[in-house]
Structure 1
C-alpha cells in the first residue's frame, strides 16, 4: 500500500487510497499496539496517528505510547520497515528547567550513562539543541551537551524481515520498548510534575 504513496503523490491521489491506507496500514498498527498493551498494561495509553494534509504522515504510520507527561515510546512503519523511538519532547518551560537541574546534578550522570549505552547499541540520539549551554550553567560542565537539549530522542530501525508479518512482531516490539524503559523512567522521575510532601502534584 505504501508503495502507491511513494514519491510525491497529489492530495487527490492520497485521498483515493485513504480507505486502503486505513485498512492495510493504520489498522494493523492499531492491532499491534493493542496486542502490546495486552501483554503489558504499562503500554495501555497509546494513540495511532491519523492522516493530515502533509505528505509525511501518509508515507509512514506512527503509533505512540504515553509513559509520562511529554515522555513517549514510539513505533513507526514505512517502506524501510519498523523503527522505534523514545521521546521527551514538547515539554513546557518548567519541565525543561527541571531537566536541566537534574542533568547538572547527581541524576545527570545516570542519564549520561543511559544515553551512551543506547548510542553504542545503535540508537541515534537527537532532539532540539540550544547553540550554547543555557544561562546559569558553566559552559565547561561535563554534561554540557545534555544541558543544551530542549528535547531528547533515541531512535533506531528494527527491520522489515519476515517476522514483521507474524505474531513475533509483538515480542520484538516489547523487547525494544523494554530496552528504552530506563530512559523513559529517568525522564518520568526527573522532569515530571513536582510532588509536595503529601505526594500531590505541585504545578509551578
Structure 2
C-alpha cells in the first residue's frame, strides 16, 4: 500500500489507499506511542500526524512527536525503511538560541553536552542541526566548542530498521531503549535551553 504513495501520487490514489494507510500505518503508530507512554508517563504528550497533515508530501511516511518542552521533541518516524527515532531542538526563538549558546560556552554545561554527543555518536546516532556558516561573533574562533556554538538547532536520530520485531510489541521496547539513550541530551536541552 505504501508503494502506491511514491512521489506525489494523484488525489485519487491517495484517497483510494487512505483507509488502509490509516489502519495499517497511523493507527499502529498511535498504539505504539500509547504503549510507550504506559511504560513511562514522561512520554504521554504525543502527537501523531493525520493523513491530511502530511508534511513535504511524504505520503509514505508516518511521523509522530513526543513533546518534552517548548521546541524540544522526541520523534518517531515510520517509512518503507522501518522505524527511526530521534530528539530535536529546532524552530527555536532567539531567546532559546541565546540560552543554548550560553550553556555551550559555559565550561560545565558545555563539556557535559560534548560528552553526551560523543556517547550518542558512539551509539550510532547521527548528529545534525542548522548551523551558521561563519564563526559566531562574541566568541573566540578558537573556542573549544566553536562548532557547537554555531548551531541554531540540534538533532540526533538513528534508524532502528525494519526487522521482524516491527510488527510485534517488541517495537515499543526498541523505541523505549532508544529514548533512554536520548534522555541525557533531551534533559540537557530542557534544562539549559527550553527554560
Relative to the length of structure 2, the TM-score reads 0.94
TM superposition shift of 1:60: 0.5
Determine if contact 2:6/2:59 at 8 Å carries over to the other structure.
no
Note if 1:124 corresponds to 2:161.
no
SS in 2 for 1:84: strand
Alignment partners' CA distance in 2, 1:130 and 1:11:
39
Alignment partners' CA distance in 1, 2:79 and 2:194:
32
Unaligned runs of at least 5 residues, structure 2: none
Structure showing the higher helix proportion among its residues:
2
Match of 1:64 in 2: 65
Alignment partners' CA distance in 1, 2:151 and 2:12:
39
Note if 1:161 corresponds to 2:163.
yes
Note if 1:181 corresponds to 2:183.
yes
Determine if contact 2:4/2:13 at 8 Å carries over to the other structure.
no
TM superposition shift of 1:7: 3.9
Deviations 1:111-139 (A, max 9, x none): 01111111122111111110012221111
Q: How many residues align?
A: 193
Alignment partners' CA distance in 1, 2:48 and 2:96:
25
Alignment partners' CA distance in 2, 1:71 and 1:55:
21
1:53–1:165 CA distance, 2 compared to 1 (3 A): closer
Relative to the length of structure 1, the TM-score reads 0.90
Alignment partners' CA distance in 2, 1:103 and 1:112:
9
